[in-house]
Amino acid sequence: MLAVLNSERLDPPPVWMMRQAGRYLPEYRQLRSDKGSFLDLVYDSDAAAEVTLQPLKRFPQLDAAILFSDILIVPFAIGQNLSFVAGEGPRLTPPLANAAPESLQAFPARLEPIYETVRKVKAALDPSKALIGFAGAPWTVATYMVAGQGSRDQSETRRLAYSDPALFHAIIDRIEEVTLGYLAGQIEAGAEVVQLFDSWAGSLAPAEFERWVIAPTARIAAAVKERYPQVKFIGFPKGAGGKLGAYARETGIDAIGLDETVDPVWADRELPKGLPVQGNLDPLALLSGGEGLSAAVKRILDAFDGRPHIFNLGHGILQETPIAHVEQMLAEVKKRA
């Protein structure tokens, strides 16, 4: 994977899956049941390291481990209270729609157990496998911090960005600051690659996308690369569509992740030549399996045959995905050798 991120094209391509450590694995479900809440699992470094390594033990064809954690650890460290409501998802209080960011009391020690997880994974990981750290991108994290929870269209956060850009800029600046320190801590603990997840990038108009997605990502990527030039930086702006070209050119990232809605043939034609790409199998194709999965895998591999490529999903693996379908996908990718 590191070779591909250094712009080398390989056959077969390296492969990992977003959310590969998680609910589709029976061994994860058992450990989660034993540990209780999601946050208890994340903050138990021994258990979180075990979860991070579980998919590589089951699927030795995977070329990377990705830290088991959550993008909302950053607002938790900034000072919001974080909980996960069964069947409803995360909650952050107080929501910044009605509380000033400076009113929050920071708890940077809340990041320390995550660094310990990275250290434990690094010590146990096969040296031939890459270790990926990650964080949520400022825009996406801000959508949760402002609304206090996830939303369908991020309208509350988008309205705040239009109506009070100075306040919203202060929120983004604070997220940037903590995110940079958070990624640095993961790198110091052993991460060789970092990925910035901008899961809600697609909800923004073009000018707002430039301001709240591209600009913060560029600042974080530049700072990481200045301090750690050996570390590779992957940006994943889900839903960016036609704005992917600008994101790739202006952020200074080493590789770009593509969601499942992006035509790989179009992406290969429109993205900068030689830029490594990651993706972009539809998680529902993986869930379905069979001939449809084989055809989808082949289309992606054929489209990116002429550029550095990391095979991955277009978003996180779905919890109902059969193990046999993951095995089928890995066999389809690796037979390209």
Does 240 have pLDDT greater than 80? yes
pLDDT-based confidence at residue 337 (cuts at 50, 70, 90): low
Q: Is residue 240 part of a domain?
A: yes
> What Å distances lie between residue 120 and 97, 193, 203, CA to CA?
38, 16, 37
By CB atoms closer than 10 A (0-12, 13-18, 19+), residue 82 is buried
Is 32 designated active site? yes
Q: What is the pLDDT of residues 130-159, one digit of tens each?
A: 999 999 999 999 999 999 999 889 999 999
User: 231: domain CATH number?
Assistant: 3.20.20.210
Note whether residue 119 is domain-resident: yes
Q: What is the mean pLDDT of residues 94-111?
A: 90
Per-residue model confidence (pLDDT) at position 85? 82
Residue 228 covered by a domain: yes
Strand partners, 135: 196
Q: Which of 144, 174, 247, 307 is catalytic?
A: 144
Mean pLDDT over 214-230 rounds to 98
Is 158 labeled as catalytic in the residue annotation? no
152 is catalytic: no
Residue among 24, 32, 182, 259 flagged as catalytic? 32
pLDDT of 336 over the 80 cut = no
- Give the separation between CA 261 and CA 72, rounded to whole angstroms: 25
- Has residue 52 been placed in a domain? yes
Rounded to whole angstroms, the Cα distance separating 88 from 40 reads: 18
The single residue of 9, 23, 219, 299 carrying the catalytic annotation is: 23
The rounded mean pLDDT for the chain is 96
| Calpha distance 84→74 (Å, rounded) | 15
End-to-end CA gap in the chain: 15
Q: Tell me the per-residue pLDDT of 67-95, one tens digit each, with 9 for 90 and over.
A: 999 999 999 999 999 998 877 789 999 99
Q: Tell whether 293 is covered by a domain.
A: no
Count Cβ atoms below 10 Å from residue 93 Cβ, excluding itself.
Answer: 11
The dihedral built from the CA positions of residue 111, 113, 118 and 119, taken in this order, carries a sign that is positive
Q: Coil, strand or helix: which one is 79? A: coil
Catalytic site includes residue 11: no
Residue 161 has pLDDT above 80, yes or no: yes
Tell whether 188 is covered by a domain. yes
Residue 52's domain comprises: 25-274
What pTM was estimated for this model as a whole?
A: 0.96
- For the chain, the domain total comes to 1
> Is 54 part of any domain?
yes
Segment 288-293 mean pLDDT: 98
The verdict on residue 255 lying in a domain is: yes
**Phi and psi for 48 in degrees, rounded to 5?**
-65, -35
